[in-house]
Structure 1
Amino acid sequence: MSVSLFSLRPWSLLVAASLLTVVPAAHALSARDKARVEAIEARMAAAEKRYSDALVLVNNADPKGTAESDAALEDMEDVITACIAQKGCTVSGLLTTYKRLLKQKVDGAAADEEDDAGMPVEADPDHVAPLRADVPEAARAAALLNDHRHAFDDMVEYNPAIQAGIRRWLTDMRPALLTSYENYMNLRGVMWPEWEKGGLPEALLFGIMAKESNGRVHASSRVGAAGLMQFMPATGRRFGLGPDGTGFDTRFDPRSAAEASAAYMNERMRGLNRNIEYALAAYNGGEGRAARIYRDMGGQSFWTDSAYNQFPGETKDYVPMVIAAAWIFLHPQQYGVEFPKINGQPATIRLARSTTIYELTICLGSTGTRDGYMRALRNLNPRYEADGWIPAGTTINATTRIAGLYNRYCVSGPRADLARTLITADVNAAIKRPTATSFTGSVAVGDVQAMQGGQVPPPVATPAPAPRPATPARRQARSYTVARGDTLGRIASRFQCEVPALARANGLRAPAYAIKPGQRLKLEGCDR
């Protein structure tokens, strides 16, 4: 995350090298000298803790982490200098602490290199923002880290309503907060550049996404809002979102949704004097109402009772919840929140063989994540159904970590074979059906009656009817009407068809296999 954090300081290295030859005095120390040595050691321990805390801030993408880490290193250098001048101070012990921290840095960098070995590092060209294309990686990282995002703190009111929202995010909604963060970090390289270009706070982007969809690309509401940022159809069309002619709705595309939401928020804020609370109220409760209330109230605060009480209850809840999520995003340590460390650097994978997102989820495993990679793959590739086959040679979006795991586990080998076995397992193959030769039961034939003389007449042969000529069974052409929520994969599973055959029979093109409610499908080649 931080360039300066992972660069060794030349001055400190010179000091460390020179101190290796320093040997403390062997004779007894006075009580005063002992006290001074103990104070120096305490200062070193405090500097070490400060440095460790700074690493946590950096991992949480908090820009304060860089300054804190630099200050901690300076503290250690001052302590070592003091130790040199202090009688009886053992410099080697302090250097051990210093080198251990540097080794921690080196080990972390080496682990990242091992995880990234052999991975493609280019992002999908459709998802490359000007920032990524024009700025070297190190400079881009520094720029993102020093994006002045804490200016958001001064743009909103931190009041009891926000505190109540923070309380909810930190209690019963904590799992949703952490899930939203993990989903966002996997999409950050796609979404944040669009908001950055618009001069909008990243925390606000996270807060809206967390409240609207928890970072699930395919989220839809009962009133028709869709995607990460929950655009209604009409609003989406105003900002270039909607059906693209292939059966895909671009409201579900994360980059398009980020670009449109940035344009929408800037439009609202231009008309509302950059007031975030009113802009959020417009986003949720209607731009006309928010503009009217703001105008009628002469630009007074959203929290003024005569303004606040004109909004519906849903908007009164929405505004503080978005700001609360954004506030935690900026200040996780203050609230004891440890966000997961996510490697979300964009990458692409060219599939070595046909697969499904379900199959990839199995073979990728869960290294470096809490819940596996299905949600990240779904979010980064919204055009594909989870159970739809994606042809070999297709390029899909991923992260560098996912790409590395794919090359290691999903192209070939035991885990790839196991994933294919599990994904193609047929429940019907487990059902045992008896055959005629395996029947072992008894058949009731009625009472046997003795004849006069104790003789039983021989059985009378009954002539068998003449066989009828065989006629092929007529197979009725069947069809199915697509219901809301159906996918071609689910329909194929229900009627025991092969997805490619069903797609060919109905003229559906891979890989999207786009279908819509009310469409009639021919069930040719299906067993049920």
Structure 2
Amino acid sequence: MPVSLLSARPWSLLLATSLLTVVPAAHAISARDKVKVDAIEARMTVAEKRYSDALVLVANADPKGASEGDAALEDMEDVISACIAQKGCQVSNLLATYKRLLKQRADASGSAEGEDGGPLEADPDHIAPLIADVPEAARAAALLNDHRHAFDDMVEYNPAIQAGIRRWLTDMRPSLLTSYENYMNLRAVMWPEWEKDALPEALLFGIMAKESNGRVHASSRVGAAGLMQFMPATGRRFGLGPDGTGFDTRFDPRSAASASADYMNERMRGLNKNIEYALAAYNGGEGRAARIYRETGGQSFWTDTSYNQFPGETKDYVPMVIAAAWIFLHPQQYGVEFPKINAQPATIRLAKSTTIYELTICLGSTGTRDGYMRALRNLNPRYEADGWIPSGTTINATTRIAGLYNRYCVSGPRADLARALITADLNAAIKRPSAASFTGSVAVGDVQAMQAAQAVAPVAAPVAAPRPAAPARRAARSYKVARGDTLGGIASRFQCELPALARANGLRAPAYALKPGQNLKLEGCGR
């Protein structure tokens, strides 16, 4: 947030207190004075609205936000001065509005209040961004209140969970924070799918954090894919898989969230709503979990006769998911300050063709540590990071990304720089010396014999004019993949249609997995 909007205005808390000491006691006032008081209060309402709108502009990186915010504060100061001079005007009422707006500014800038020594409860800073992000978040946020959410009573908190929390807070802390940031950018499309199935949001976050760290295009060696890591066969059972365009909907956040909610509810119905067994089924196979639950008479997952029948991976998976969910609900208890993410959904209609790589460069990193490439890829899983997206295409984004796009990516120095970096050709950096500039030594045989031959020759034969260079041979219609190549980069280099190139070589979106040394047929290419 610009410094001018954070700088202290003349109305310090001390001055505000002194103003209150000069407020006269309320007495009956004339109708004329009442009209003037009403007009002053209306001016304060307008200034308050102007200030709130300015905070939105600042959050969206709009340069008008700072000046609008300062102007709104000046309006409020003028209003308070007018109130002091007006009979019957209660300055305390206007100062309450002023104080509320200052708190709103502090919340928006991410400033933290000091510890009050009270009992540790759900972090209010954790709840606040959710309320601002999605229309139904007021209802959803209730699940994050320590006094109301049901998740704590649905799982057993024990040393295994504590060990998982310890891991998330030490060597896996970066993964936890990255998972949270990725989830918040996807929350508007994922959480409603779980909410309508009455499943805890914390559990959704815990599974996603453990499975993929919130990376839409995550894939495993055994074939699991997407945010929620569905295997192909399980995905097909719940409506996931290649669609008519060849895109695998396991990589679609909304579809993956819906399928995972259906799967968890199916498992919990058969396991007496036991989250630990349902998670064990998610990781280690539903048949195994159902059998163990049945054979042990529904004993706790943590009972040795049940626990020891699961493989080591599942024994690790269950407490780690619950631990991530627990921290999601109790961040303040563990000294976790989740990043404040402005993730209000928005769309961008591209003013010119571009790539996600190019957008990542021109957007910069305002409001985020790592930039916006992961958010763009997660919100637009059908596009390769280096694949060209045509002008006029509408892509998914957030209001912050949309504001930065309009400011930096449509035109201007940063847009030009991003295009230059994206179109830079590595091959152009390799210098190939010509024969005329060659300065090395070459063996030519017996120098004396050559001189004798020159003496015998009466006249030097005329030198024929050099022939014009033959046109370069047309590029081969195949290409050998080099280390670091991507299909999008190859398509750009040879002016290929990416879908046609992928089909010709049996490559599936969105991974388009290539191996060094692989020969590609250059079908649908202009070069």
Q: Deviations over 1:431-484 (max 9, x none)?
A: 2333344445566664347999xx955565358799999987764752358899
Provide the rounded CA distance (Å) in 2 between the counterparts of 1:436 and 1:484.
Answer: 31
Please state whether the residue corresponding to 1:168 is helix, strand or coil: helix
* Aligned twin of 1:78: none
Contact 2:134–2:344 (8 Å) recurs in 1: no
Bigger mean CA offset, 310-319 vs 420-429:
420-429
Please state whether the residue corresponding to 1:146 is helix, strand or coil: helix
Provide the rounded CA distance (Å) in 2 between the counterparts of 1:206 and 1:501.
Answer: 34
Q: Which one-letter code corresponds to 1:102 in the other structure?
A: R
The 1:386–1:19 alpha-carbon spacing in structure 2 relative to 1, beyond 3 Å, is: same
Provide the rounded CA distance (Å) in 1 between the counterparts of 2:362 and 2:234.
Answer: 39
Please state whether the residue corresponding to 2:143 is helix, strand or coil: coil
**What is the CA-CA distance between 1:101 and the residue it aligns to?**
5.2
Provide the rounded CA distance (Å) in 2 between the counterparts of 1:137 and 1:239.
Answer: 28
**What is the CA-CA distance between 1:142 and the residue it aligns to?**
1.9
1:105 and 2:128 are equivalent in the alignment: no
Contact 1:503–1:513 (8 Å) recurs in 2: no
Contact 1:502–1:525 (8 Å) recurs in 2: no
Bigger mean CA offset, 262-271 vs 145-154:
145-154
Please state whether the residue corresponding to 1:147 is helix, strand or coil: helix
Provide the rounded CA distance (Å) in 2 between the counterparts of 1:303 and 1:450.
Answer: 95
**What is the CA-CA distance between 1:503 and the residue it aligns to?**
5.0
Contact 2:226–2:250 (8 Å) recurs in 1: yes
**What is the CA-CA distance between 1:104 and the residue it aligns to?**
2.9
Provide the rounded CA distance (Å) in 2 between the counterparts of 1:506 and 1:236.
Answer: 23
Provide the rounded CA distance (Å) in 2 between the counterparts of 1:232 and 1:504.
Answer: 27
- The residue correspondences of 1:404-443 to structure 2 (distance < 5 A) are 404-439=403-438
Provide the rounded CA distance (Å) in 1 between the counterparts of 2:323 and 2:451.
Answer: 98
The 1:97–1:499 alpha-carbon spacing in structure 2 relative to 1, beyond 3 Å, is: farther
The 1:289–1:486 alpha-carbon spacing in structure 2 relative to 1, beyond 3 Å, is: farther
Provide the rounded CA distance (Å) in 2 between the counterparts of 1:426 and 1:364.
Answer: 22
Contact 2:352–2:410 (8 Å) recurs in 1: yes
- The residue correspondences of 1:204-223 to structure 2 (distance < 5 A) are 204-223=203-222
- The residue correspondences of 1:39-50 to structure 2 (distance < 5 A) are none
Please state whether the residue corresponding to 2:392 is helix, strand or coil: coil
Provide the rounded CA distance (Å) in 1 between the counterparts of 2:212 and 2:360.
Answer: 21
Provide the rounded CA distance (Å) in 1 between the counterparts of 2:451 and 2:393.
Answer: 82
Gaps of 5+ in 1: 1-14, 24-91, 113-131
* Aligned twin of 2:143: 147
Q: Deviations over 1:287-332 (max 9, x none)?
A: 0111111111111100000000011110000000000000000000
* Aligned twin of 1:19: 20
The alignment yields a C-alpha RMSD, in angstroms, of: 4.1
**What is the CA-CA distance between 1:491 and the residue it aligns to?**
2.8
Q: Deviations over 1:79-113 (max 9, x none)?
A: xxxxxxxxxxxxx9x9999888534324358879x
Provide the rounded CA distance (Å) in 1 between the counterparts of 2:289 and 2:362.
Answer: 49
- The residue correspondences of 1:104-143 to structure 2 (distance < 5 A) are 104-107=102-105, 140-143=136-139
**What is the CA-CA distance between 1:285 and the residue it aligns to?**
0.4
Provide the rounded CA distance (Å) in 2 between the counterparts of 1:168 and 1:366.
Answer: 28
* Aligned twin of 2:351: 352
The 1:440–1:499 alpha-carbon spacing in structure 2 relative to 1, beyond 3 Å, is: same
Q: Which one-letter code corresponds to 1:447 in the other structure?
A: V
Gaps of 5+ in 2: 1-15, 25-90, 111-129
Percent sequence identity over aligned pairs = 76
Provide the rounded CA distance (Å) in 2 between the counterparts of 1:413 and 1:472.
Answer: 39
The 1:182–1:138 alpha-carbon spacing in structure 2 relative to 1, beyond 3 Å, is: closer
* Aligned twin of 1:521: 521
Provide the rounded CA distance (Å) in 2 between the counterparts of 1:507 and 1:295.
Answer: 50
Please state whether the residue corresponding to 1:391 is helix, strand or coil: coil
Please state whether the residue corresponding to 1:262 is helix, strand or coil: helix
* Aligned twin of 1:184: 183
Provide the rounded CA distance (Å) in 1 between the counterparts of 2:511 and 2:310.
Answer: 39
**What is the CA-CA distance between 1:427 and the residue it aligns to?**
1.6
Provide the rounded CA distance (Å) in 2 between the counterparts of 1:443 and 1:519.
Answer: 38
* Aligned twin of 2:331: 332
**What is the CA-CA distance between 1:242 and the residue it aligns to?**
0.2
* Aligned twin of 1:447: 447
* Aligned twin of 2:319: 320
- The residue correspondences of 1:22-101 to structure 2 (distance < 5 A) are none
Contact 1:358–1:423 (8 Å) recurs in 2: yes
Contact 2:132–2:344 (8 Å) recurs in 1: no
TM-score norm. by structure 2 comes to 0.69
Provide the rounded CA distance (Å) in 2 between the counterparts of 1:314 and 1:485.
Answer: 32
- The residue correspondences of 1:182-261 to structure 2 (distance < 5 A) are 182-261=181-260
- For this pair of structures, how many residues does the alignment match? 416
Provide the rounded CA distance (Å) in 1 between the counterparts of 2:451 and 2:396.
Answer: 87
The 1:465–1:273 alpha-carbon spacing in structure 2 relative to 1, beyond 3 Å, is: same
Provide the rounded CA distance (Å) in 2 between the counterparts of 1:467 and 1:137.
Answer: 71
Contact 2:501–2:522 (8 Å) recurs in 1: no
Contact 2:365–2:372 (8 Å) recurs in 1: yes
Contact 2:355–2:388 (8 Å) recurs in 1: yes
Bigger mean CA offset, 244-253 vs 471-480:
471-480
TM-score norm. by structure 1 comes to 0.69
* Aligned twin of 2:168: 169
Provide the rounded CA distance (Å) in 2 between the counterparts of 1:501 and 1:162.
Answer: 47
Q: Which one-letter code corresponds to 1:158 in the other structure?
A: Y
Contact 1:361–1:374 (8 Å) recurs in 2: yes
Provide the rounded CA distance (Å) in 1 between the counterparts of 2:498 and 2:144.
Answer: 55
Contact 1:216–1:375 (8 Å) recurs in 2: yes
Q: Which one-letter code corresponds to 1:498 in the other structure?
A: Q
- The residue correspondences of 1:482-493 to structure 2 (distance < 5 A) are 487-492=486-491
Provide the rounded CA distance (Å) in 2 between the counterparts of 1:138 and 1:185.
Answer: 11
The 1:461–1:157 alpha-carbon spacing in structure 2 relative to 1, beyond 3 Å, is: same
Q: Which one-letter code corresponds to 1:430 in the other structure?
A: A
Contact 1:489–1:499 (8 Å) recurs in 2: no
* Aligned twin of 1:400: 399
* Aligned twin of 1:292: 291
Provide the rounded CA distance (Å) in 1 between the counterparts of 2:309 and 2:389.
Answer: 50
Provide the rounded CA distance (Å) in 1 between the counterparts of 2:433 and 2:99.
Answer: 69
